[in-house]
Amino acid sequence: MFRHWALARVNDFSFGAVFHPWLIEREDSRPNNLTRMPPCGAVSGLIADRALRRGAWLAPANQTLRGVVALEPALNPARRLDLQDAHINLVRQEPRGFLVLDADTLAEDDLRPINVRRLLILFAATGLSWARLTCSSPTVLPFGAWWIAAHGKCSMDCLSAGLCRRDSGFVVPGRDGWFFEYEASVDQGRFIVELRVAPSLPMTFLTIRLVQTGDLSVATEVR
């Protein structure tokens, strides 16, 4: 557990997200039985899977949910924007399956994307673990930066970007477009490390719908 690590302006609503509607699922072992389930379980699995496979800083969205055959209740597509503005992440039926295209927390501004909050959680947890390992001297900070990069599944490019430097602060580019930098100092016997994280710009999945009517094809962008 850790506290007091985060931004100067902490919004507690960024620690949760709402998903809707419910899922009607069919289990492989019991194909004749349909089960109604709230979406939180399936979405939690999706978030965990995305974090383990690709990293916590990627939006847990645009991935089909297995076993889902229908949604309940049916929501009015014309209200999608209103629901999105209310920070309700909708499970939708798309041609390739049932999936979530939005991944918003309940917070506003910078902490609205789930992946930004989870990246900050990852950095804080990893940073504290590293600090416990290497709290003896600022000269060991490159090791700490390497530790963070490794646990963040950063690429070798990241490691070669300057981690061998032994000064007290630099910027490390991450694999998927996020950056972090740190500054270390010793003040009145206290070893102080300040991590600053710049997540990649929140990625919003846009849907381009191709419609052919007669001999006229049009492309529209929908949310």
Partner 1 sequence: MDESPPAAAIYLLQESGSSNFTDAETIYSGPLTSYTLYWSQPGDYYYRVQAIVNGNTSDWSNGVSVRVGDNVRWELDQRKDYSPSVLLAVQRSLLRMCAARGDLFCVLSLPEDYRDDKAIEHVTLLKATPNITPPTERVSPLGFGEGQRL
Minimal distance in Å, beta carbon 2 to partner 1? Answer: 5
Q: Is 13 in the site for partner 1 (CB under 8 A)?
A: yes
CA–CA separation, 63 and 66 (whole Å): 9
| Cβ contact 114:17 at 8 Å | yes
* Contact residue for partner 1 among 55, 118, 119, 195 (CB under 8 A): 118
Minimal distance in Å, beta carbon 75 to partner 1? Answer: 6
Six-digit token string for 184: 């270390």
Q: Which stretch binds partner 1 (CB under 8 A): 17-25, 136-144, 163-171, 207-215?
A: 17-25
CA–CA separation, 216 and 176 (whole Å): 39
Q: How is residue 114 annotated by DSSP?
A: H
Q: Is 70 in the site for partner 1 (CB under 8 A)?
A: no
| Cβ contact 101:92 at 8 Å | yes
Q: Is 65 in the site for partner 1 (CB under 8 A)?
A: no
Strands 169-173 and 179-187: antiparallel
Q: Is 146 in the site for partner 1 (CB under 8 A)?
A: no
| Cβ contact 194:182 at 8 Å | yes
Minimal distance in Å, beta carbon 20 to partner 1? Answer: 5
Please give the residue ranges that form the binding site for partner 1 (CB under 8 A).
1-6, 9-13, 15-22, 36, 38-40, 43-44, 47, 72-73, 75-76, 79, 82-83, 86-88, 106, 114, 117-118, 121, 124-125
